[in-house]
Amino acid sequence: MAVQRDRSRDTITATGRRCRASNDDPFRNRVAVVTGASRGIGRATALALARRGALTVPLARSADQLRELEAEIEQGGGRARAVIADVTNDTGLRSALAGVARDLGPVEILVANAGIGCRGEIIDLDPGDLRQVFDVNFFGVVSSVQAVLPGMLKRRSGSIVLVSSVAGKRAFPQAGGYAASKWALQALAESLRHEVWGSGVHVATVCPGPVVTGFQRSLVGRAAAAEPRWRPFALTADQTADVILEVIEHRKREVVVSWPYRLALPLLAITWPYLSPFLQVALRVRRRREAGAPDR
Ligand code: NJP
């Protein structure tokens, strides 16, 4: 028999979206940490989790944006506790997450989403930029996972979602540094999934294609200042957040968020090594365009 949701319990968030507060919602009262939640996909995910009744913990460095988000969730009838932390500071992050577990209860959901991009050809890559990208996109995720995994294993439950990228499946020209960090993340997830098999802990990767956020504005690397590229089949942060919640709810292993990429990736896995001549043409056009971009 289909379960009817009691809409009288719903409240409206400040953005006008319904806060779904049904008692049988699987997210209800679960402590959910979302890293990189001050804007973009992380913010949308924190809001979506709060709408489903999770006790949401948005985490990032930007205090003002996090406080705003916390207030928005609470005004909408949800519960949130903003945590100001830098995922590249292992000690600070662990103590912040230990505080969350102490004050709110064990972390049952982790969405490791904090990430930065890097744009530029390998020949130009600044080692410092590359280290920064790995510090956030890889080591920041390792620290986040290590902070919550022991508790999840003890309780034999929990969900860990790593926000990767289609660049974690195929490495595009001028994105070698970023792609390398996301390939490393894919390897981490694959290994972790085997290690926790049978423990009750769910590990997933979500691979967005282009998503309309401020991500393009915070790239590092020599070509980062170039005009934003044409971003085919770009999704919104809310659409991506909905996929992340679906992955948690249905304990999926990996989802490529945008369908054209989902269709193209298996074909590209075979053809990619032979596409250099076409990619060279695209690269030449881009180089010419970037030659006119201001220096960083
Ligand atoms: O990026 P953006 P998105 N410690 O720039 C936080 C992947 N992805 O939402 O600390 C803690 O709007 C930063 O907060 P703050 C991408 O690789 C995206 O688009 O306050 N947090 C902010 O909240 C990334 O993994 C696209 O500056 C740190 C957040 O990260 C994820 O999606 C395509 C931090 C970044 O928000 C979210 O990206 C794709 C630190 N050290 C994959 N450094 C896309 N947008 O097109 C940064 O395939 N943050």
Reported as a single tens digit per residue, the pLDDT across 210-257 is 999 999 888 887 666 665 566 778 999 999 999 999 999 999 999 999
Q: Is the pLDDT of residue 6 over 50?
A: no
pLDDT above 70 coverage of the chain, percent? 88
From the CB of 27, is ligand 1 less than 6 Å away? no
For atom 29 of ligand 1, which residue has the closest CA? 36
Q: Is the pLDDT of residue 157 over 50?
A: yes
> pLDDT tens digit string along 83-95?
999 999 999 999 9
CA–CA distances in Å: residue 150 to residues 58, 84, 106, 196, 293? 21, 22, 11, 11, 48
State residue 219's pLDDT score.
86
**Mean of the pLDDT values across residues 155-175?**
96
Strands 31-35 and 55-60: parallel
**Torsion from C-alpha of 233, 239, 244, 247, nearest 10 degrees:** -80
Element (H, E) at 42: helix 40-51
CA–CA distances in Å: residue 1 to residues 4, 7, 271? 9, 18, 48
The tokens of 28 are what?
């209800």
From the CB of 39, is ligand 1 less than 6 Å away? yes
From the CB of 38, is ligand 1 less than 6 Å away? yes
Ligand 1 atom closest to the CA of 214, numbered from 1: 12
Element (H, E) at 249: helix 237-249
240 and 211 Cβ atoms separated by less than 8 Å: yes
How far apart are the CA of 36 and the centre of ligand 1, in A?
A: 6
**Mean of the pLDDT values across residues 100-127?**
96
Q: Is the pLDDT of residue 283 over 80?
A: yes
Can you tell me the distance from the alpha carbon of 78 to that of 53, in angstroms, rounded to the nearest whole number?
6
The tokens of 155 are what?
């309780």
Using alpha carbons, select from 45, 51, 43 the residue that is nearest to residue 79: 51
- Cβ burial, residue 123 (10 Å; 0-12/13-18/19+): exposed
For atom 25 of ligand 1, which residue has the closest CA? 115
Mutate to test the pocket of ligand 1, among 211, 219, 239, 265 (most ligand atoms within 8 A of CB): 211
* Coil/strand/helix, residue 269: helix
From the CB of 165, is ligand 1 less than 6 Å away? yes
From the CB of 152, is ligand 1 less than 6 Å away? no
Q: What is the pTM of this model?
A: 0.91
For atom 16 of ligand 1, which residue has the closest CA? 115
Q: How far is CA 166 from the centre of its chain?
A: 12
Mutate to test the pocket of ligand 1, among 213, 236, 238 (most ligand atoms within 8 A of CB): 213
Query: Is 261 among the residues known to form the active site?
Result: no
Ligand 1 atom closest to the CA of 208, numbered from 1: 48
From the CB of 168, is ligand 1 less than 6 Å away? no
> pLDDT tens digit string along 61-78?
999 999 999 999 999 999
Mean pLDDT of the chain: 90
Given the residues 138, 178, 183, 215, select the one marked as catalytic. Answer: 178
Q: Is the pLDDT of residue 20 over 60?
A: no
285 pLDDT band (50/70/90 cuts)?
Answer: confident
From the CB of 214, is ligand 1 less than 6 Å away? yes
Q: Is the pLDDT of residue 261 over 50?
A: yes
Residue 83 φ then ψ, to 5°: -125, 120
